[in-house]
Every structure is written in structure tokens, then in C-alpha cells.
Amino acid sequence: MSNSLIDKAKTISFHALIIFVIVFLQFVFLNIMPGRANEIDFFLIVSAFYILRIEYKIAFPFLFIAVFIDEIVFPIAKIIGLKTLAALILAYILFLVFKKMVLKGWLLCLTIATYSVMVFIFTKLLLAFLNYSDLSFILSDYIWLFINSFLITCIVGKKFNVR
């Protein structure tokens, strides 16, 4: 019993460390990179890897905690939790669509980049639905988010050999 408790504590500590590293990386990346190169969300990229590659019992709690911490540290809306809600709903759809398929190479990069952009669009739609924002989209921001997410996903996928 205690051995499984120690294993669970190690697993939780490992995932907490990943979240801490992502917060640091996101903070450093957003403050150092100039111009459009900082249009990226590492939390959504790592969460999408979790959804596509790891068991759902670990992936969905990680997604909820990671994106909620992301919203607390880097708020994008007046209502905390809308990006988390959008990420969870779209991650569940992503999980249902791709749970029987194996994504590799550029298709994995394309899927994760599309997921990142869709989370921001869905968050914007939820804000418009609640009358906290209008539906004006700055298309260049979403294009840069897609391109940067695609490139970072392909680099991470190749570098760490994510399967």
C-alpha cells in the first residue's frame, strides 16, 4: 500500500515539476522573444501531447491544472476559467477523435497547432457569449500562434522523440 502511495506521490511530483518548468519557460519566452515570435502557448502544446499520448486518467487532470495555472499566471480574459473550459472541451473532442489513431510527424504538429488556435478562438467565442468581448479577431495573431505552435511542436516531437 505504501509503495503505491510513494509511486503516486512521485508521479504527482513529476507532473507538478513539468507545470513549474512550463510556467518558467512561458514567462522567459514571452519576455525575451521579440515581436511575433512570442505568440505561443506552451501549456496548450504540452497538454495536447498529454491528451494524444498519455492515458486520459492522467491527461485530463493535468490539462485542467496546467491550463488553470496558466490562466492565473498569464490571464487572457476577465473571467478566469474560460480558457480552461475551452481547452477541456476541445481536448475531449480531440481525445475522442484520435484515441484509436497514432499521429506522427507533421500530422501531429498540425493537430496540436490547430488545437492551440481553436482553444483561443473558442475562448474568444465564450467571452463574446458572456458579453465580455466582441467578436473581432486579429487574424495575424492567430496565424502566428499557429505557425509558432507548429514549429515548436515539430521541434519538441523530433528532439525528445515523443511517441
Q: What is the mean pLDDT of the chain?
A: 84
Tell whether 86 and 122 lie within a shared domain.
no
Which among 100, 120, 152 is the end of a domain? 100
Amino acid at 132: Y
Q: Write out pLDDT tens, residues 86-95.
A: 999 999 998 8
Residues 85 and 111 in one domain: no
Same domain, 50 and 39: yes
Same domain, 71 and 126: no
Gap between the Cα atoms of 163 and 160, Å rounded: 9
Q: How far apart are CA 121 and CA 124, in angstroms?
A: 5
Structural domain containing residue 131? 102-162
Residue 72 and residue 108 in one domain: no
State the Cα–Cα distance between residues 145 and 141, nearest whole angstrom. 6
Same domain, 23 and 96: yes
Question: Do both 27 and 83 map to the same domain?
Answer: yes
C-alpha 83/C-alpha 68 separation (Å) is 8
How many angstroms separate the CA atoms of 113 and 4, rounded? 36
Task: Answer yes or no: do 2 and 79 share one domain.
Answer: yes
Q: Does 21 score more than 80 pLDDT? A: yes
Same domain membership, residue 72 and residue 23: yes
Task: Tell me which DSSP letter residue 69 carries.
Answer: H
Higher pLDDT, 36 or 16: 16
For residues 75 and 120, membership in a common domain is answered with: no
Q: Which of 83, 100, 117 is the last residue of a domain?
A: 100
DSSP three-state, residue 114: helix
pLDDT in tens, 23-81: 888 887 777 777 777 778 888 888 888 888 888 888 889 899 888 888 888 776 677 88
Rg value, the chain, Cα: 16
Cα separation, 157 vs 115, in Å, equals 16
> How many domains in the chain?
2
CB 115 within 8 A of CB 44: yes
Nearest residue to 44 (alpha-carbon basis) of 16, 64, 29: 64
- The grid coordinates listed for 130 are 458572456
Where does a domain end: 58, 82, 100?
100
User: Looking at the structure, do residues 115 and 76 belong to the same domain, yes or no?
Assistant: no
Are 62 and 47 found together in one domain?
yes
pLDDT at 2 over 70: no
pLDDT band at 150 (very low <50, low <70, confident <90, very high): very high
